[in-house]
Structure 1
Amino acid sequence: MGIAAIVALMSVGYGMEHAITGELTEMADMISVMPGEIRGAAYVEKGSFTDRDVSDLQRIGGIKDISTMTYDAAEVEYRNKNVPIFVFGGDTKELESFYVEPVGLKEGRWLRENDYKGCVIGDRVANDFFDEVIHVNDKLVINGDKFIVVGVFEKGGPCCMLMM
């Protein structure tokens, strides 16, 4: 009886190890690297990456893709209501591989290189942040500039941000 119990515990242990390793592997396939430092409990942005920094990162083994982007909080207005939202910008093809391919869009399309003042919004931005639901072709004012919504992420994707 004692040997059977040890074998059963070892089987459970190996099963848990496999499950945890699988979860960590799924979560750890994307890493964000930002120039700055941590002071106490706060992150302090410091400078920006250069083209050489990006080239150095690309030479590291095991890295599949690198996407350079910029982000900041912005004041977003829709039908006279203002909400602060994180806004991301970057190369449309790079951002697509990081955000659209794994998640998908529930409405509209992804940004094209020739889009001028177009944006894709998260599900919560579309449905929860404003008094009315935002759809494709609706217009937003972002830090004083007018943009048109060309796509909305699926629920579970980047929920609380806007990409342009």
Structure 2
Amino acid sequence: MRVIVQEAPFDFGAEAAAFASARHDMGAIVTFTGIVRDNAGGLSAMEIEHYPGMTAKALEKIAAEAVSRWSLGDALVIHRHGRMAPGEMIMMVATAAHHRADAFAAAEYLMDYLKSRAPFWKKEIGADGAEWVAAKDDDEAALERW
């Protein structure tokens, strides 16, 4: 299990290939990548802030919970912080399990947690200024199913 919180961009292809090539004993690998999206057409950047010690511990705890709950062979969580432009990758989740149902469920669980509860604070910056991104009811509802 690896949890990485970094400012620099990551190479999704290289990370996914390395993750998959290390798991010859697993029958399913699921990956997901979150991307900065420009919903209204005026976003110039997103800034993500965090407290390093707190963030790493929280992500490690939730990743360990996913590994245990779904008997994963491995899990990977990469999450960026700092300033990112629309189209840049924010985060990546990868899960390895004996069967696809567990790999998909664990990946969804991790994604729902990262979207709603991970200790990151997001600010959208556009032509009209900057605005902190508030939690969405849909994201909270998605997490409640777990």
- What TM-score do you get using the length of structure 2 for normalisation? 0.29
**Considering only CA atoms, is the larger Rg found in Structure 1 or Structure 2?**
1
More helix by share: 2
